[in-house]
Amino acid sequence: MAEKKKRRAARRSRTRSPKRFTMSMQRKLIWLFMIILFCFIGLSVRLIVINRNKGQEYTKQVFSQQAYENETIPYKRGKITDCKGTVLADSQLVYNVIVDSKAVLSNDNYLEPTLDALEKLGADAERVREYMQKNPSSQYFIARKNLPYSEKKKYDTQLEEGIKEEDAQKLGDKYRYYSNIKGIWFESNYSRTYPSGDLISDVIGFANGANEGSFGLEEYYNDVLNGTEGRIYGYLDDNLSLERTTVAARDGDNLVLTIDENIQSIVMKHLKRFGEQYQDNDHYGNGANNIGCIIMDVNNGEIKAMASYPSFDLSDPYDTDALLGMPLLTDSGELTGDYISKTTISLLSEEERLQALTSLWRNYCISSTYEPGSVSKPFTVAAGLETGAVSPDDTYYCEGYLDVAGNKIGCHNIYGDGTLTVGEAVERSCNVALMYMADDIGYEDFCEYQNIFNFGLRTNIDLADEARTENLIYKAEDMGEADLATNSFGQNFDVTMIQMITAFSSIVNGGIYYEPHIVSKITSPSGATVKTIEPRILKKTVSEETSTLLKEYMVQVVEGENGTGKTARPAGYRIGGKTGTAETLPRDNGEYVVSFMGYAPADDPQIAIYVVVDRPNVEKGEKQADAKFATGIVRNILTEVLPYMNIYMTEELTDEERAELQELGLKDTTGYTDADSE
């Protein structure tokens, strides 16, 4: 047994000899190598045959899947001109300066000349250098936006002259400098320009770099003004040559306005003058919270001028300096009682700053609502005459107030006006007489005529952001005695300026209500007329007889012994109109919206004018509730506008008026006739 154990131990201790790489294994490896070699040779032969027979076809298939020269061609946004062709908004050709990092960095000699050239093009050379270092393979980086065409042309000329082969010997280092400028190319685009500045800013609105209009005409007619982009397509022909197909861009159509830039300039001048005169009087801030003016052709609804104060420069609508002096608003848009100063602006959040700018950009004449006050009295009288509830021979007694449903509602003349005819009630702007008239008219008819005059409805003027007012006027079923009484003289319901002057035009032109419009025609890029905006009659508001009576009453407002609008009459002209003072909320706060709405000339109305002054910044101790703040602006505007429109004077001038006209450089046209102008 011991012997067996010894033999096992001896076997375990022996070293085993390794396996040998036998001849059989070598032969297998050689055969495997030969098989792989023959497969490779066969595959190579097959590829050669395919390339010989179908190589061109396959190459075309591969190349056809690649993009060549697929470039967008920008369109030019249509321009906006006034009725005489003066450009108010246009688009100028500009360029984005593009840098190809890969091309610039392909040679050490290219970098510095290229950066130097970019600096001359107005780009930040160090910013470009830093970008190229971080993105050496980039082939598209905008080094500068909106390079004017004149600057690009100057650069192209210098580059072309600097790298002429025949001048290489003469130019020496200069030639090498220009020839080493690489990787710069120009991407064409259009930039919106506004030569008129702030003259008509809230009517025009503005457009951004993406051709998206905001506010005014730019927004309302955005699709008309925009064109269609073109494109350059590249493709391979049958011979593998690169061919290009260009689909040209189609530029946008143009707008021709009814507005006359000269009339607009006169209006804007006097709004600004008022704002400067009353600035920082009772409190720091503008001359008024808002001032608006519209001049309309009463016989077709065309807007001749529309302006508001404060305004902003269309070339830089985000300039916050234009906000200085404006009322500071709460998050919900309510007045805080404070006014925006440089300190205030620095404390505003981005959201608050945008809210303030939006308030500035909005067109006060169509977007803001307010109680109209006594300028609405002619509409109450018109409703009474049309329904038969009021007769021209009726009289009313005013003792300074009227008790309505237990409420004493006062007249502006607290001592009372005594017995008044209908015409005298309008002349003196008697609240009590108007309340009697409204009571005779009744709820149903009063509200029906509110609707006939389009109060509570949009006028559909062709401007963006016209306010909705359907919830700001009463329905007959919701109206009480006090509501009817206060509505009769323009309190407790809200309107917009465009609603008021459009309705007013109808009661002085014989009762024809025209849809207001500010664009007269649309033209193609070549100047051909695409569409003419014809005057559009929407309805008949009053009869010729009622219109005639109202004009007589409103002439007395300006000419009558007790008329409230005497200070609105321009030298040499008879006009008619109506003053308005509307107390703002909360009542008894001493803050008013004052206004005057009139027409000229008195015998043959051609234009209507409406001026609203929202809370004039009067001297301390002076009352806001005085229509003279509006009538003075109207007088100044009409003094210049009527002669410009070749509407000749009919009244003798006083020495004082003649001196005033001489100072303004205006003529005495009392002896002129239409024939004299031909």
Poorest-pLDDT segment among 232-241, 294-303, 418-427, 519-528: 232-241
Tell me how crowded residue 668 is: count the other CB atoms within 10 A of its CB: 16
What is the band of 109 on the pLDDT scale with cuts at 50, 70, 90?
confident
pLDDT at 33: 77
Give the residue among 207, 190, 87, 88 at the shortest CA–CA distance from 147. Answer: 190
pLDDT in tens, 614-636: 999 999 889 999 999 999 999 99
Please provide residue 520's backbone torsions phi and psi, each rounded to the nearest 5 degrees.
-90, -35
Q: Pairing between strand 184-193 and 80-81?
A: unpaired
pLDDT of res. 323: 96
- Report the range of poorest mean pLDDT among 112-116, 235-239, 481-485: 235-239
Tell me, what's the pLDDT at 10?
54
Tokens of 521: 């025609």
pLDDT band at 15 (very low <50, low <70, confident <90, very high): very low
pLDDT single digits (tens) 445-485: 999 999 999 999 999 999 999 999 999 999 999 999 999 99
Q: Which residue has the higher pLDDT, 52 or 644?
A: 644
- For the stretch 498-517, what's the b/e string if a residue is b when 16 or more beta carbons lie within 10 angstroms of its beta carbon? bbbbbbbbbbbbbbbbbbbb
Range with the poorest average pLDDT among 68-72, 256-260, 302-306, 324-328: 68-72
Q: Report the distance separating Cα 73 and Cα 70, nearest Å.
A: 10
pLDDT recorded at residue 137: 87
Q: What is the pLDDT of residue 67?
A: 45
pLDDT band at 163 (very low <50, low <70, confident <90, very high): low
Residue 277 pLDDT more than 90? yes
Question: Residue ranges per domain, the chain?
Answer: 96-123+140-189, 651-678
Q: What is the DSSP letter of 280?
A: T
Rounded to an integer, what distance in angstroms lies between the CA atom of residue 169 and that of residue 186?
29
Asked whether the beta carbons of 134 and 188 are under 8 A apart, the reply is no
